[in-house]
Structure 1
Amino acid sequence: MKENDTEISTLLMHGQVWNFQDPTGWYISEKLDGYRAFWDGSKLYSKNGTLFPIPLDFTHSFPSNICLDGELWAGYDVNNLNSIIRKTASKLESPQNLEELWKDVKFCVFDAPMHPGHYQERHQFASSSISGCNPNICMVPIEPCLGLDHLQSKLNEITKKQGEGIMLYSPSAKYTSGRTKNLLKVKAYIEEDVKFVK
């Protein structure tokens, strides 16, 4: 089994920080605070190309021969996921304990890197690809941004849940390796920060 794939680190798309430009028409999704993960169609890797130490049955229903970009996530306390990964990597846990540890972990998919389309097409393709899979793989919901007020409203919702922020996807851009202006990170700015640019 291949434990490292350095090509993954150069393949993945990474966002830039939002600089308060008009977000209207871009796609909004919640920025999850977990571990970036890449499904290559048979194995799940970290953003650095390291194979995740996960139970075999966690990915048994994942689609084969389809690449998916997403986040391993176990709720709004990332320390919980850190603990699960450490315990699994130690190889000291029984199968029963591993099943219990991983029952609330999900691979939350937000993109399909090898699909040639724009973001909505890639998201729809990924969603169709995981249809019928076990509930430990899911899609990160998206919606078109209607403007700064809408963006601020979504930030408020996420902040109340102790979330990290928002990702903005260009509606017309294709998947691009490396850091790109077509993917923007919006941290949970205070309300005055966003109102300032109106």
Structure 2
Amino acid sequence: MASLALMRASPVFSASRPPLMLANPYRKGIPLSDYWVSEKYDGVRGYWNGHRLLTRGGEEIHAPEWFTRGWPSQPLDGELWAGRGRFEFAVSAVRRDKPDDAAWRQISFMLFDLPGSEEVFDRRQLLLIELAAALKQPWMKVVPQHRVADHAALARMLDALEKQGGEGLMLHRGGSLYRAERNDDLLKFKPQDDAEARVVAHLPGKGKYQGMLGALLVETLEGVRFKLGSGLSDALRRNPPEIGSIVTYRYRGRHAGGIPRFATYLRIRGD
């Protein structure tokens, strides 16, 4: 196909930390007529730089040779997903230095963007569909996109998805270019907000947690430090995330100083 040939001629980004578009939280009042809505897949972000499959941190993902065979030199952005409620399985499969073929047979690459394209998202969707159709690989799937009329319809969609075990929704502005930054062209809508922080210290436990971890001292990307103890299992308290590792936490709003309210540990970031 002519357009596919043009895509293969597109430039390839550096193989260090991928230049990814990141999402802001959804806010009521956003003009929804400008956006496409899709499911937020709970897996590992995967970035194909034209030669290698990388995590969002720039680490190489050792996928089986057949998984990426025939992929174009055009960068691809998507989620390595094993199904709803199977985040830990996906992380386990993706992080292996030696790929487990049987595990990778259960992984799909949920394709949602073309970072190297200079087209707007409305057009990039069509190019994604064309690309997947040309490759004919059942594990590569284009993320379905939908329109919603208003906030009430969006809330109903989120509620229905949550009942089915889904994580949340993504909103992508149809007229936007791919910009490797966090902006309102990409939004996430979830029952609870989540964010990431780096572990900077292990705080000792007291009482029934004597001799174990009491809480993690973490630091957000904005430099705000706080204690994260809620949500930690006894197994994690005995073997806590390493200092320097990135963890994901859920919260409900922030205090005036930027400290998240009701922060609860969710997991170590898998990528």
TM-score range, shorter-chain basis? Answer: 0.7 to 0.9
Counting only pairs closer than 5 Å after superposition, residues 63-102 of structure 1 correspond to structure 2 as 64-76=72-84, 77-86=86-95, 88-89=96-97, 91=98, 98-102=100-104
Residue matched to 1:48: 57
2:47 pairs with one of 38, 51, 70: 38
- Which sits farther off after the overlay, 30-39 or 52-61? 52-61
- Which sits farther off after the overlay, 126-135 or 109-118? 126-135
Residue matched to 2:16: 6
Q: Deviations over 1:76-105 (max 9, x none)?
A: 22011122234x32x3x7xxxx32211110
Structure 2 CA distance, aligned partners of 1:171 and 1:85? 31
Structure 2 CA distance, aligned partners of 1:153 and 1:112? 29
TM-score by length of 2: 0.61
Structure 2 CA distance, aligned partners of 1:18 and 1:6? 29
Instruction: Check conservation: 1:40, 1:65, Cα contact below 8 A.
Output: yes
Residue matched to 2:30: 22
Q: Look at both structures and tell me which one has the larger radius of gyration over its CA atoms.
A: 2
Runs of 4+ more than 4 Å apart: none
Give me the CA root mean square deviation: 1.7
Instruction: Check conservation: 2:26, 2:189, Cα contact below 8 A.
Output: yes
Residue 163 (structure 1) shift: 1.3
Residue matched to 2:66: 57
Between Structure 1 and Structure 2, the one with more helix by share is: 1
Task: Report 1 or 2 for greater relative contact order, CA contacts < 8 Å, sequence distance ≥ 6.
Answer: 1
Residue matched to 1:150: 153
Instruction: Check conservation: 1:68, 1:126, Cα contact below 8 A.
Output: no
Amino acid across the alignment from 1:142: Q
Residue matched to 1:120: 122
Paired residues, number: 176
1:130 pairs with one of 126, 129, 132: 132
Instruction: Check conservation: 1:23, 1:168, Cα contact below 8 A.
Output: no
Instruction: Check conservation: 1:22, 1:147, Cα contact below 8 A.
Output: no
Structure 1 CA distance, aligned partners of 2:166 and 2:110? 15
Residue 23 (structure 1) shift: 4.4
Instruction: Check conservation: 1:23, 1:145, Cα contact below 8 A.
Output: no
Structure 1 CA distance, aligned partners of 2:66 and 2:113? 23
Residue matched to 1:165: 168
Residue matched to 1:140: 143
Structure 2 CA distance, aligned partners of 1:49 and 1:145? 34
Gaps of 5+ in 2: 1-13, 193-271
Q: Deviations over 1:45-101 (max 9, x none)?
A: 111111102111111143x11111111101122011122234x32x3x7xxxx3221
SS at the partner of 1:126? helix
Amino acid across the alignment from 1:99: D
Instruction: Check conservation: 2:120, 2:174, Cα contact below 8 A.
Output: yes
Q: Deviations over 1:91-141 (max 9, x none)?
A: 3x7xxxx32211110111101111112111111112211214211111010
| Fraction of identical pairs, as percent | 28
Structure 1 CA distance, aligned partners of 2:105 and 2:70? 15
Between Structure 1 and Structure 2, the one with more strand by share is: 2
